[in-house]
């Protein structure tokens, strides 16, 4: 298995956050919502991310229906 330091860091941070909330999912969700509110200016709305939509087409991608 290939070691990926970024993935390992994400796992360490996830574990730390879980421990800080005492393993309580509700507390974790509250903490995440508080962070979202605090850093609202850093959050990109899902419609601006450019991910594929549920219909499988990425925003801005042309389809046969567009022509």
The 10s digit of each residue's pLDDT in 7-64 is: 999 999 999 999 999 999 999 999 999 999 999 999 888 888 776 556 655 555 555 5
CB-CB contact of 62 with 53 (8 Å): no
CB-CB contact of 21 with 27 (8 Å): yes
pTM over 0.85: no
Please tell me the predicted confidence (pLDDT) of residue 51. 61
Please tell me the predicted confidence (pLDDT) of residue 54. 60
d(CA 30, CA 54): 28
∠ Cα 59 47 49 (to 5°)? 75
Please tell me the predicted confidence (pLDDT) of residue 29. 96
Shortest CA distance to 32 belongs to which of 10, 48, 47, 17?
Answer: 17
Please tell me the predicted confidence (pLDDT) of residue 55. 60
């Amino acid at each position: 298995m290939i070691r990926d330091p970024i993935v390992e860091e994400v796992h360490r941070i996830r574990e730390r956050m879980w421990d800080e909330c005492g393993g309580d999912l509700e507390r974790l969700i509250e903490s995440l919502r508080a962070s979202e509110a605090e850093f609202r200016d850093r959050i990109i709305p899902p419609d601006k991310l450019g991910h594929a939509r549920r219909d499988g087409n990425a925003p801005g991608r042309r389809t046969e229906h567009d022509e």
